[in-house]
Amino acid sequence: MKADSKKFQTVDEYIAEFPPKVKASLRSIRKAIREAAPDAEEKISYNMPAFALNGVLAYYAAYKEHIGFYPMPSTIAAFRKKLDGYALSKGTVRLPLGEPLPLELIADMVRFRVRENLLKAGMKGKK
């Protein structure tokens, strides 16, 4: 289901490519991230929606059977126990379509990424 062949310019354009139920899920994730990181910039990166604040916070994308949420490997490691029951890889959480989204957990992971990126930015400024 991922719209690989088209190059997207905006997140709205990306979301518009999907069926209504998938659109609703993508919008819910988008909202959870916005609320967790209100100062983050929303953009398209690697042809999928992303949020950045002193570096990328997370990406997300729709596929045939799931939504991929990509909050970076450090976040997956930090939240491993809370992610029990989800298919994971080093930097990916697969959220099955048709199941409730763990929006509060997504928000917690994004807040973790905000702190992580702000800490890295502060360390760079001290060098």
Q: What is the pLDDT of residue 122?
A: 78
Q: What is the pLDDT of residue 120?
A: 86
Q: What is the layout of strands, in order, in the sheet containing 41-45?
A: 41-45, 48-52, 56-62, 66-70, 92-96, 87-89
56-60: average pLDDT: 97
What class does CATH assign to 11-126? alpha beta
- Mapped onto helix, strand or coil, the DSSP state of residue 88 is strand
Domain spans, the chain:
11-126
Q: Give the up-direction half-sphere exposure of residue 121: CA atoms within 13 A in the CB hemisphere.
A: 12
Residue 127 has pLDDT above 70, yes or no: no
pLDDT in tens, 61-94: 999 999 999 999 999 999 999 999 999 999 999 9
pTM (predicted TM-score):
0.89
Confidence band (pLDDT; 50, 70, 90) for 123?
A: low
Query: Hey, CA dihedral for 15, 73, 109, 105, is it positive or negative?
Result: positive
pLDDT in tens, 92-113: 999 999 899 999 999 999 999 9
Q: What is the pLDDT of residue 125?
A: 52
* Contacts with 72 (C-beta within 8 Å, 6 or more apart), sequence order: 56, 58, 91, 113, 116
